[in-house]
A and B are shown apart, each in its own frame.
Chain A
């Protein structure tokens, strides 16, 4: 009963190292922002406004990625903006994963009325347009880091719930679950010890995906000025400001956009890479 899984060698290394490396760099820069960032991200200097990045003529040394229309250093603002982006990604991602997965596991394994209640709730929840829902929530909660985190959790737990429920239902049909009953396991132990490890790879892949989504949602909310206070450096806020002066200073928009893009991509690839590397069934 040999199948291809044992013989096909997957090139897991590169994907994992590239995405993990990028995330490590971003995390390190934002953690050490106080020491590393070359300038105060809020310091304005109108005499040094719209300086181009270092590879363009007219660049000033010390402003690697140039300055925006108020003379604030773009690199410093990206680093500090990363702080908010990563905080939101980690906290909102983990909280969403825990809430959605627990409800999904319960619905998928116990079925019956618990499943009926949870599934109907998810159906109703998913009928709301998510961005409007988030804007409405923040209008009620007020702006701030925690409002963003809560908005992401409230919107996105359904994504986990759906997928994890389906996977738990799938695993519940396997004979190893019957076998655990024959062994004398109690039901909660079967869910935790037998089904849990088999759903975990799915949860991890979803979690990293969710972290990327959280970065995007944070950027969208700060783009429409519903994130933190207006002048705080956020990637979305920088993109919004850069949009205004796109013809005079394209780097104000393009630099944070590239960082945002690479970070979201790295999150999703990191999940895939982890799965390939650490799942004993695929390895």
Chain B
């Protein structure tokens, strides 16, 4: 693009969901405001980190961005076009370009389908050609052998499953990927591998990414911009260096303090 329009321009984004826990016996459930008027942009080619504690609305924000949820108010302009209230049929051609990697790969990969089918299926829906070659290419990109096509998700390790999730997303050659807490379910060494992989893919494929995490140290490595979310409002939205060097909001400082630092008094193993 480079025409000055950001890939995403979000203005006044609000989302409320019915709260069935507090529904009176008769009548409608009260609405809870999850997102309370958010404004931000995502530039093409950038990696936006979205941080916040649990319940801050970061996953909801992500899912609204790629229209798994419909906003209650406000606009989401994707390349200048408001996609906030498009219906599913109009949205479908856009789906190929907006992909998602999920937090829990065990849940996001259909347990009764083989890896090959899981990656190939979305390609088929969008009528892409050379499906076999694309599946191989995607598996190769994430460092899995082609023989994994015949496996079921439960036959893979956690890290391998998450790679399949990434392969499914990049096989579509999307422009934008939402990565929702993609390493929080993995052990530390798999975390590092998956993060390295994502970092390389972003560079290689020129992806734009929204990276949701509660862990600021992960954000620091990957992201160019950071959006700090608390109780459905943006408390800070700045380049990553500013967030780490000169955080303005009290909430950001609390998140930064929560990063465990190596203890200087201990021997450096």
Give complex CA distance A6, B88 in Å: 39
B251 at the interface (CB under 8 A from A): no
Residue A62, interface by CB 8 Å: no
B interface footprint on A168-188 (CB within 8 Å = 1, 0 otherwise): 000000111011111111110
Interface check B84, CB cutoff 8 A:
no
Chain A: CB-nearest residue to B110: A176
> Taking the nearest CB of chain B, how far is it from the CB of A175, in angstroms?
4
A182 B98 Cβ-Cβ under 8 A:
yes
List, in ascending order, chain B residues with CB within 8 A of A179's CB.
100, 102, 108-109, 168
The residue in A5, A181, A194 that gathers the most chain B C-beta atoms within 10 A of its C-beta is: A181
Complex contacts, B108 vs chain A, CB 8 Å: 174-176, 178-179
Nearest-CB distance from B152 to chain A (Å)? 5
Residue of A nearest to B63 (CB): A178
Smallest CB separation, B204 vs chain A (Å): 22
A279 to B172, CA, bound (A): 30
Among residues of A, the one whose C-beta sits closest to the C-beta of B99 is A182
A193 to B7 Cα, complex, angstroms: 33
| Cβ-defined contact, A178 with B102, below 8 A | yes
B98: chain A residues at CB < 8 Å are 182
Within 8 A of A (CB), among B91-134: 92, 95-96, 98-100, 102-104, 106-113, 121-122, 125-126
Please state if B122 and A184 are interface contacts (CB–CB under 8 Å): yes
Interface residue from A5, A183, A187, A197 paired with B122 (Cβ < 8 Å): A183
* Complex Cα gap A217–B22 (Å): 44
**Residues 230-283 (chain A) with a chain B CB within 8 angstroms:** 279-281
Bound CA span A5–B106, Å: 14
Does A202 count as interface, using CB distance less than 8 angstroms? no
How many of chain B's residues touch chain A, expressed as a range?
20 to 34
Report the tally of A-B residue pairs with Cβ distances under 8 A: 71
* Chain A contact patch, size range: 20 to 34
The residue of chain B having its C-beta at the shortest distance from the C-beta of A280 within the complex is: B152
B154 touches A281 (CB 8 A): yes
Closest to B178 in A: A182
Bound CA–CA A182/B104 (angstroms): 16
- Which residues of A lie under 8 Å from residue B163 when comparing CB positions? none
Interface check B217, CB cutoff 8 A: no
Say if the beta carbon of B161 comes within 8 Å of chain A: yes
| Chain A residue at smallest Cβ distance from B98 | A182
For B166-190 the 0/1 string (1 means CB < 8 A from A) is: 0010001000000000000100000
> What residue of chain B has the Cβ atom nearest to residue A281's Cβ?
B111
Of B112, B125, B185, which contacts A280 at CB under 8 A? B112
Residues of A contacting B104 in the complex (Cβ-Cβ under 8 angstroms): 175
Q: What's the nearest-Cβ distance from chain A to residue B149, in Å?
A: 14
Q: Mark A192-230, 1 if CB is under 8 A from B, else 0.
A: 011001100000000000000000000000000000000
Contacts of B92 in A (CB 8 A): 184
Asked if B158 lies at the interface with its beta carbon under 8 angstroms from chain A, I say yes
Name the contact of B157 in the complex, choosing from A1, A175, A180, A281 (C-beta under 8 A): A1
The chain B residue sitting closest to A175, CB to CB, is B108
Q: Does B155 contact A (CB under 8 A)?
A: yes
11 new A-B pairs (CB below 8 Å) besides A1-B106, A1-B158, A183-B122? A1-B157, A175-B104, A176-B107, A176-B109, A178-B63, A178-B100, A178-B102, A179-B108, A179-B168, A183-B121, A281-B112
